Structure 1
Amino acid sequence: MSAANGRPPPAQPARPGDVGRRVARRREELGLTREEAAARGGLTPGYFEYVESQPAVIQVDALARLATVLQTSVAHLLGAEQGPPPGETPVPVRPSPPEELSTTECRSRITPGGVGRVVLSTPEGPAALPVSFRFLDDTVVFRTAAGSVLADVVGAEVAFEVDRIDDALGEGWSVLLTGTAEELTHAETIRSLIEDSGPRP
């Protein structure tokens, strides 16, 4: 499935990632400036500015240092701590209005891969089936077993959805793609995906 066709969209201002927003929120909760937080951890204020304002990929050791400085855990900064089911925490009194993500922003959110949902029509009605996926060359790639419901949608129009809800920040995002399901038959490409820990059924 292709995420976008035609010309690429105009460049968009960088926006912070989920980790960056949690770092900024926790720092503000502690009443620390970037300079004060940096001094605690032997970091630079510029590093805090970078983490909080850019959708950066942060190494585990750097996350551990940030968690120590901010008196929290790596799990909290990653949004992975246990809590109520997504969406069940109270929403802010004045929730922010929804914003439409640019094509570039959509790509940045699904490029790491993970778990998404293939939405399709079945004889029993609509279905949304979870799959592990990768995003390569503007194409969503997932693996399924022969004879499965997903294997039967080759040639059909389907949708693919990925989302994430951050209860701690009262924020979330969703990316929806549509396209035609195709069977991957190129042996070299399949071998490369498998050797590179490709998606599993």
Structure 2
Amino acid sequence: MTSHETGSGPASAPDYGDLGRRTAMRRAQLGLSRTEVAARAGAATGYLQYVEEHSATPSIGFLLRLADALDTTVAELIGGTAELPPGFDRAGSHPEMRELGTAECRERLSSHGVGRVAVTVDGVPAVFPVNYTVVGDLVGYRAFPGSGPAAAAGHEAALEVDHIDDAFRQGWSVLVMGPAHVVTDLDESLTLEEHAFTAPWAGSGRQEWIVIRPTQITGRRIEVPG
């Protein structure tokens, strides 16, 4: 079997109870309707709805077709790679690297997500994952006052966002660089709160907004022909 059929990496016990959520999320990422995915997988739309909304245990044949329809792997759909770092598979055949234009970088940065902010803490470089929000030309995230991510304030900072597609050994990364500051203006803080898609995944109490005003946005993409 190919890695596209089954995925790769250490074997994990299938968790079919998570299949529906992962299927719906992947379908949303691709911008596909249930009808479109069902047609690709050779299944009834009603059955795909059942899989997404109930605890289903479909056959391996359906899972293989569903994975192909969603351009992913069975392992990804059932959460078998959830505890593994991204990019666990081998490199693709003859990969190509290309630069992303500013508009492409902003499109991938989107309005929110999880990125990694690079700072210097006590003279030592460090990187922290943060939930970020994009408002106009600003990129902001919340942190505990005095914490590692908050150390970016008052300095030039960098925030990196990326996506890895293990099924096709492709991916992209976007790097945002510019001066960072603590938000003290009430109106600016309220605007950031209004646009924030979610509270910090790491938990409550992170109420200090740190904002990066980008002076440079660059990006790269790895593509595998064919």
Q: Which residue of 1 aligns with 2:36?
A: 66
- 1:172–1:132 distance in 2 versus 1, CA, 3 Å: same
Q: Which residue of 2 is the match for residue 146 of structure 1?
A: 145
1:113-138 deviation line (CA, Å, top 9, x unaligned): 11001001122521110000011112
Does 2:64 match 1:94? no
Q: Name the amino acid aligned to 1:93.
A: S
Question: Is the Cα–Cα contact under 8 Å of residues 162 and 176 in structure 1 kept in the other structure?
Answer: yes
Match of residue 125 from structure 1: 124
Corresponding residue SS for 1:69: helix
In 1, Cα distance between the equivalents of 2:72 and 2:106? 20
Hey, what's the Cα distance between the residues in 2 that align with 1:101 and 1:87? 20
Paired amino acid for 1:113:
H
* Structure 2 segments unaligned to the other structure (5+ residues): 5-28, 42-65, 201-205, 207-226
- Identity of counterpart residues, as a percentage? 33
Larger strand percent: 2
Equivalenced residues, count: 144
Amino acid at match of 1:133: Y
**Segment drifting more, 136-145 vs 187-196:** 187-196
Structure 1 length-normalised TM? 0.62
> Could you tell me how far apart the structure 2 residues matched to 1:151 and 1:179 are?
15
Q: Which moved more, 1:106-115 or 1:80-89?
A: 80-89
SS of 2:99's partner is: coil
RMSD: 2.9
Distance of 1:189 and 1:65 partners within structure 2? 42
Q: Aligned partners of 2:189 and 2:30: how far apart in 1?
A: 27
- Deviation per CA, 1:85-141: give whole Å up to 9, x if none: 31111222222x210000000000012311001001122521110000011112111
Q: Structure 2-normalised TM-score?
A: 0.55
Equivalent residues in 2 for 1:44-193 (5 A)? 58=31, 62-71=32-41, 72=66, 76=70, 81=77, 82=79, 83=81, 84-95=84-95, 97-123=96-122, 125-193=124-192
Distance 1:134 1:122, change over 3 A: same
1:116–1:133 CA contact under 8 A, matched in 2: yes
Give, in whole Å, the separation in 2 of the partners of 1:110 and 1:128: 18
For the residues of structure 2 that align with 1:108 and 1:89, how far apart are their CA atoms? Answer: 27
* Change over 3 Å in CA distance of 1:75–1:144 after alignment to 2: farther
Distance 1:121 1:75, change over 3 A: farther
Shift of 1:153: 2.7
Q: In 2, distance between residues paired with 1:187 and 1:77?
A: 44
Q: Deviations over 1:153-194 (max 9, x none)?
A: 311111110011001122100001111111112212322332
